[in-house]
């Protein structure tokens, strides 16, 4: 891609620091160097020089680096001025550079966008750069590095290549249907290849889900009646008194949110108002907010006061469980094991019976805990990890975003449908079309097939100067 404008931005965070970098990319990069340091520096050599304004006054002294295109991050000529990291110094330097005709301030993510458009990296790798910068855990950073190195892209590209090859076989069979030597379909070779491909893409899907969990975190919503121990559990998870805990029912009337980590997984915990019938307007609003949070959650914990018989409220609990989205794993935590009485065992039996007789696709776990003393907390954390099918190993794992998962999901649907069309109807044309749509879905991940709107949305979330 050729562009006739040159971009500039401060590539280091706002504030004071030892070093501040101003990055320039585009056809006017060498002109910029000549104006600021009086010459074009040698390619890929660091030089310590004075930076001057247009009146030949010294702004600062620092390091200048020149990367000649196409062997640069963006694929264009790139100049980097490494000055002292004071905001005023960098601002003066920026103002002088912007006096040069044809140079403008870069948009968010525009350097990475140009690298993508110049085939220096694909879209998944470009996104991983932003993910690496925004990593909140060591594991997230390692996953992002794997994606930048192309591990995710290589897996997707292999699937795409296999799809292309299978489509070629099918289309050859359609075009030369009268030639018996090219009747691949009747021999079952194509079906076998598609099924093997299906196994591969479902493995990638599991890895991508892992990567998405590391990147975006898990939203965990705690539900329950007033005084069930929801706020105590939040405090136990956080290791501090985030929520007010009293013996007065209905203490929490609004949404409380905290973020923690469990073995490198970001967990966004939401403590909610107690579920019950009430005439209090404020409490009603809190309960309504609780249900809104449920619909956007990844895991739900239903807290039960184990010391109070739940048989009188079985209809209430059945209604609550029925109202929960089936796709979201549910853990029922029977609380106050430290105060265990005659009701405790019957509560466990009742909720285990509900879990065993569950007719939906919902996953239900039943655990005993003490939110006050932390008893059973390790088992609860293990259940949370298991519920999202997270694998802690970083080897071979990569960072992934929600859009990547959506693209893989669509590809899986089309591949599954191609098998149905082949096995049940021998509809060659429809098989080929399903595989084509699967290929197009996967190409959205690496950017081989994408739109300007999607690119704008992706790169606009990047920081300035990256």
What would the DSSP string read from start to end of 170-222? Answer: HHHHHHTTT-GGG-TTTTTHHHHHHHHHHHHHHHHHHHHHHHHHHHH-EEEEE
Q: What is the CATH number of domain 220-297+299-387?
A: 3.40.50.300
**304 forms bridges with which residues in the sheet?**
334
**Block residue for tokens 């239900």:** 364
Alpha-carbon dihedral of residues 326, 401, 464, 267, nearest 10 degrees?
50
CB within 8 A of 432, min separation 6: which ones? 167, 170, 171, 174
**223 forms bridges with which residues in the sheet?**
302
- Is the predicted pLDDT of residue 267 greater than 80, yes or no? yes
- Assigned token pair, 300: 């739900």
Torsion sign (Cα): 421, 156, 1, 25: positive
pLDDT digits (tens, 9 = 90+) for 52-106: 999 999 999 999 999 999 999 999 999 999 999 999 999 999 999 999 999 999 9
How many residues make up the chain in this entry?
Answer: 466
- C-alpha angle 396/400/404, rounded to 5°? 120
**351 forms bridges with which residues in the sheet?**
none
- Is the predicted pLDDT of residue 3 greater than 70, yes or no? no
Every domain of the chain and the residues it spans: 6-122, 151-213+397-447, 220-297+299-387
**pLDDT at site 18:** 92
- Is the predicted pLDDT of residue 34 greater than 70, yes or no? yes
Rounded CA gap, 379 and 334, in Å? 13
> What CATH class is the domain 6-122?
alpha beta
In this predicted model, which residue has the larger pLDDT, 211 or 34?
34
- The answer to whether 466 and 21 have CB atoms below 8 angstroms apart is no
Query: H-helix or E-strand containing 88?
Result: helix 87-98
Residue 246: pLDDT band with limits 50, 70, 90: very low
pLDDT digits (tens, 9 = 90+) for 137-180: 888 899 999 999 999 999 999 999 999 999 888 887 776 655 55
Rounded CA gap, 419 and 396, in Å? 29
- Least confident among 367-371, 393-397, 448-452, 462-466: 393-397
Task: Provide the edge-to-edge strand list for the sheet that holds 330-335.
Answer: 256-262, 265-271, 218-224, 299-305, 330-335, 364-368
**pLDDT at site 168:** 87
DSSP state of 310: -
Residue 286: phi and psi, rounded to 5, are -65, -40
- Assigned token pair, 382: 């293990």
Question: Taking all residues of the chain, what is their mean pLDDT, rounded to a whole number?
Answer: 88
- The answer to whether 412 and 201 have CB atoms below 8 angstroms apart is yes
Is 151-213+397-447 in CATH node 1.20.120.430?
yes
Residue 263: pLDDT band with limits 50, 70, 90: confident
- Assigned token pair, 372: 């006050």
- Assigned token pair, 217: 């975190």
- Assigned token pair, 227: 């005084």
In this predicted model, which residue has the larger pLDDT, 386 or 204?
204
């Amino acid at each position: 891609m050729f562009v006739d404008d040159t971009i500039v931005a401060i590539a280091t965070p706002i504030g004071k620091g030892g070093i501040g970098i101003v990055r320039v990319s585009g056809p006017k990069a060498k002109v910029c160097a000549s104006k600021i340091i009086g010459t074009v520096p040698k390619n890929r050599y660091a030089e310590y020089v004075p930076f001057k304004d247009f009146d030949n006054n010294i702004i600062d002294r620092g390091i200048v680096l020149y990367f000649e295109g196409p062997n640069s991050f963006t694929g264009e000529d790139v100049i980097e001025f490494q000055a002292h990291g004071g905001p005023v110094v960098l601002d003066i330097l920026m103002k002088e550079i912007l006096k040069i005709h044809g140079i403008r301030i870069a948009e968010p993510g525009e350097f990475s966008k140009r690298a993508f458009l110049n085939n220096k990296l694909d879209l998944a790798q470009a996104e991983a750069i932003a993910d690496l910068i925004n990593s909140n855990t060591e594991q997230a950073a390692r996953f992002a590095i794997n994606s930048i190195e192309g591990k995710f892209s290589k897996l997707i590209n292999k699937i795409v290549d296999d799809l292309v090859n299978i489509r070629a076989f099918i289309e050859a069979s359609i075009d030369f249907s009268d030639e018996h030597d090219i009747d691949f379909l009747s021999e079952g070779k194509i079906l076998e290849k598609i099924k093997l491909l299906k196994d591969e893409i479902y493995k990638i899907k599991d890895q991508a889900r892992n990567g998405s969990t590391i990147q975006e975190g898990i939203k965990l919503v705690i539900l329950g009646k007033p005084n069930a121990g929801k706020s105590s559990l939040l405090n136990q998870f956080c290791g501090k008194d985030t929520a007010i805990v009293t013996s007065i029912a209905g203490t929490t009337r609004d949404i409380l949110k905290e973020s923690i980590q469990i073995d490198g997984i970001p967990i966004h915990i939401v403590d909610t108002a107690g579920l019950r019938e009430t005439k209090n307007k404020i409490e009603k609003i809190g309960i309504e907010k609780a249900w809104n949070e449920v619909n956007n959650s990844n895991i739900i914990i239903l807290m039960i006061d184990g010391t109070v018989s739940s048989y009188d409220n079985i209809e209430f609990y059945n209604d609550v469980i029925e109202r929960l989205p089936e796709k979201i794993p549910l853990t029922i935590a029977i609380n106050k094991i430290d105060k265990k009485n005659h009701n405790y065992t019957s509560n466990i039996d009742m909720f285990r019976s509900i879990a065993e007789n569950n007719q939906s696709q919902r996953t239900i776990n039943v655990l005993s805990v003490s939110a006050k003393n932390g008893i059973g907390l390790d088992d609860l954390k293990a259940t949370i990890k298991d519920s999202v099918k997270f694998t802690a190993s970083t080897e071979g794992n990569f960072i992934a975003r929600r859009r990547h998962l959506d693209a893989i999901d669509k590809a899986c649907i089309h591949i599954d449908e191609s098998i149905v069309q082949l096995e049940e109807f021998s509809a060659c044309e429809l098989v080929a079309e399903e595989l084509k749509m699967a290929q197009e879905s996967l190409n959205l991940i690496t950017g081989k097939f994408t739109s300007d709107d999607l690119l704008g949305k992706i790169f606009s979330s990047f920081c300035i100067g990256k």
